[in-house]
Amino acid sequence: MNNTDKHTQHESAYNNMLNHARSFLQDASHDLGSNLQDAIESAKEKAIHLKELSKEEAEQIGQYLSRDLHDAGAYIQQQRGELADWLRFDVEQVERRIWENLSLVVDKTTIELEHIRNRAQQLGEWHTGEITGPGTLVCHSCDKHIHFHKTGHIPPCPKCHGTIYNRSKK
């Protein structure tokens, strides 16, 4: 399998895990902080069981998903903004399905603000080669903005070839 096929497989797995986590949370009662983690764990187990991913791949993609959801929840709570502000571009440009899944999970996630805020501070960097959901990343070295309109792999910075990014907060 070449790198392009593997990237496509991992992006698809990220979206599948997000959908599974959303379904899990819809059925969850309270204690959202642990439910979110349980939902991601359940999504990883399902991806491994269906042989979509190896255990290591599922673990890595689960970390990407957790990072993105915690960052989105913390930003929305801090700014009292909408998910569209976090995404940094018109909602119409986002694939409807991803938008619905992220907004549902993020809305529930804001209930556990303190838990999310602590995790978001620890998970505030994105790196070349990782997967991220829709939004805007800013190169740590040169401040170049890279827009993701759908789930994708993070490339080196097209301006300076930097490999570390932060989520745009403006």
What's the confidence (pLDDT) of residue 135? 87
pLDDT at residue number 91: 45
Q: How far is CA 48 from CA 6, 60, 78, in A?
A: 16, 12, 35
5-49 confidence digits (pLDDT tens):
888 888 888 888 888 777 776 665 544 455 777 888 888 898 899
Q: Does residue 103 or residue 68 have the better pLDDT?
A: 68
Three-class SS state of 47: helix
pLDDT of residue 138: 93
Q: What pLDDT shows up at residue 69?
A: 78
Question: Tens digit of pLDDT for each residue in 39-83?
Answer: 888 888 988 998 888 999 999 988 888 888 777 777 666 665 455
Does the pLDDT of residue 106 top 70, yes or no? no
Q: What pLDDT sits at residue 16?
A: 84
pLDDT of residue 114: 57
Give dist(CA 43, CA 50) in Å, integer: 11
* Residue 103 CB-half CA count within 13 A: 14
Please give the pLDDT value at position 30: 45
Q: Which residues of 4-41 are buried (b: 16+ CB within 10 A; e: fewer)?
A: eeeeeebbebbbbbbebbbebbeeeeeebbebbebbbb
Give tens-digit pLDDT for 107-155.
555 555 556 555 555 567 889 999 988 889 999 999 999 999 899 999 9
